[in-house]
Structure 1
């Protein structure tokens, strides 16, 4: 996003530029002044001024290759996730669930139409992919996301899915009618499968976290490679364990 785009959109140009720099540094794992200026469509002096200001505040650090994000963001991220009561309610239960299943587990909440992982835990054999705490994911392509969509109200679902469905793998459900049919089945049985829909070679089982009045406040899932997540264990035993954990987390979140 350029500075002009920010101004035309009604935002504060300088603030948009600073956050544009932060997002670019995150995506590029660091960059020099010239690269930042070219990416954002600003002058080198403007890019340099923003970078040095962010550096003085501790949000950017100098590296051999230019500038990178500083560790100050770790503190902000920790505060952001701890404001969710769901985080506190889910940690111990997710740890137990993952230890039993032996893979990787995650807790997700919806924010601005995307799923955000607020907690993740894995065993030694669990496969680490590109996701981590703070990762945002498309709801229609994940077990946690489909669990959430299946139990949210129609207006919320339309808001989230209104811009279309991205196709991440050949297994992603990118047709709205087909997705609605899948969500109806998920709502009936209480859990969702992700069969290589976000990452080829990975499967997951998810379940919604519901309050006493059946309001969905998040979702959990366990995921692993197709070589281990298969057969009756994957299709029947894991879903039962995931749903039970989600129910306990929902109770703890309702009555903290």
Structure 2
């Protein structure tokens, strides 16, 4: 099913501040992904309303056993804002065994092992649809999947939010060493698992890593200031022509 979402501001003509759960106009399509080991995963593709996307964000959510899913707030806000603000398509999906209001993906959580097939299915969908310039966006557990498996796929680059480096080992990082695609890691100053000083040391096997230390940042990126920081960092890498992202909708006339 494809729908087009319109905020109250887009219907009334009165600008509103973009914050919280504001969902800007986009084409939103419920999708299914099919894995090589026979599972069906549920998800959503959000695209610009009246033009082709300039790039695609393939999102990998936080740990499902810790409450992570395709609606984890940064991913939901990326899908709610970036198609309209930056012409970026956003693909979100529940990894195996994960549930959200969209539904439950088949299978069971596999500690990052079987999830290899989930990443593969998402990238196959991107290829089938001809979605342009895909980037992987992993958050927490999702960064582990991006680091362990993303190198196998034709992505333009990788963005990591709050990487814990629990499952991704030095050998996974070293495997990227000869790869020239950009990898950007946003490291919260007050992260629960990996803070800037330790990140600098542990990412040493990955010479092309761009570490972005976020002052005052926390693992969950709670608050509108943190959300805006993350979304601006994403757009700076994927479609910098769209910066600075407006903070109200409709944007002021230029």
TM-score by length of 2: 0.23
**1 or 2, which has the higher helix percentage?**
1
**1 or 2, which has the higher strand percentage?**
2
TM-score by length of 1: 0.23
